[in-house]
């Protein structure tokens, strides 16, 4: 049995993993799908103080309170930044990371540095100072009307400071943990494509998945199969710098 912790992306909540989580649990694994502060069913907790460090602490608290070790940590889209931040904080609790169509930035940069300038400008223009609204579900590569309606009922505004302020990521990204980056290709989501060059430069495993950006919604079987294959493989020993043991 492996332990998976699945971190959602912008505007989403732990709810978005329900289909994948069910498949992983059916295969005998332990799965946690935390919702970050200010998102999903925790949207009522949103304040101006919801910054990157708060979101990282959300996931670290799950690992610590549930006493989880040897965790396979998955970060989708914006959630990849959270996952990398968790790797900086508590690497000893993690086995490896998988970033699913994730946003990745250089150490010290804010999340918006990983998105195209026109996308950033549009989001800032739509913001009310605290948040910016979710896009239409088809933007996430979700073609089915029923799935679109399911997302539309649940997507919540994105805390602006979570993207404008840095996560404080340090080099090497991922803190020496094994990392796999999986790009969603059907259709592709160009907003996150700057992450691909970083992933290749860092020497991470790199793969593709034939699903839209919200592959956990549109292609749960393929997504679960990717996580199961990754979780069952032998990974190289962790090389965590002594001064970054967490």
Which residues are known catalytic residues? 77
CA distance 115 to 244: 28
Q: Is 178 exposed, middle or buried (0-12, 13-18, 19+ CB in 10 A)?
A: buried
* Cα–Cα distances in angstroms (integers) from residue 221 to residues 27, 145, 158, 166, in the given order: 12, 19, 28, 34
Token output for 109: 């940069």
Q: How far is CA 166 from CA 28, 105, 160, in A?
A: 37, 9, 12
Q: CA angle at residue 16 from 157 to 159, to 5 degrees?
A: 20
Q: Which has the closest alpha carbon to 207: 217, 199, 218? A: 199
Look at strands 131-132 and 205-209 and give their pairing: unpaired
B/e letters for 75-90, b = 16+ CB within 10 Å, e = fewer, are: bbbbbbbbbbbbbbbb
Q: Rounded distance, CA 12 to CA 154, Å?
A: 7
């Amino acid at each position: 049995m492996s332990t998976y912790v699945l971190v959602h992306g912008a505007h989403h909540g732990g709810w978005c993993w329900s289909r994948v989580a069910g498949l992983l649990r059916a295969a005998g694994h332990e799965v946690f799908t935390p919702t970050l502060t200010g998102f999903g069913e925790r949207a009522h907790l949103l304040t101006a103080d919801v910054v990157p460090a708060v979101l990282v602490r959300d996931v670290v608290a799950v690992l610590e309170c549930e006493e989880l070790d040897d965790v396979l940590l998955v970060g989708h889209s914006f959630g990849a930044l959270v996952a990398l931040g968790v790797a900086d904080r508590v690497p000893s609790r993690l086995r490896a990371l998988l970033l699913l169509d994730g946003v990745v930035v250089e150490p010290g940069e804010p999340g918006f540095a990983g998105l195209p300038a026109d996308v950033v400008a549009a989001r800032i223009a739509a913001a009310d100072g605290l948040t910016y609204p979710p896009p239409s579900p088809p933007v996430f590569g979700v073609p089915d009307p029923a799935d679109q309606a399911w997302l539309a009922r649940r997507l919540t505004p994105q805390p602006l400071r979570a993207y404008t302020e840095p996560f404080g990521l340090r080099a090497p990204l991922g803190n020496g943990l094994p990392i796999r980056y999986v790009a969603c290709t059907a259709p592709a989501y160009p907003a996150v494509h700057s992450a691909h060059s970083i992933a290749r430069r860092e020497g991470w495993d790199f793969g593709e998945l034939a699903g839209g950006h919200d592959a956990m919604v549109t292609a749960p079987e393929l997504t679960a199969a990717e996580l199961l294959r990754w979780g069952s493989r032998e990974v190289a020993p962790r090389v965590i710098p002594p001064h970054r043991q967490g």
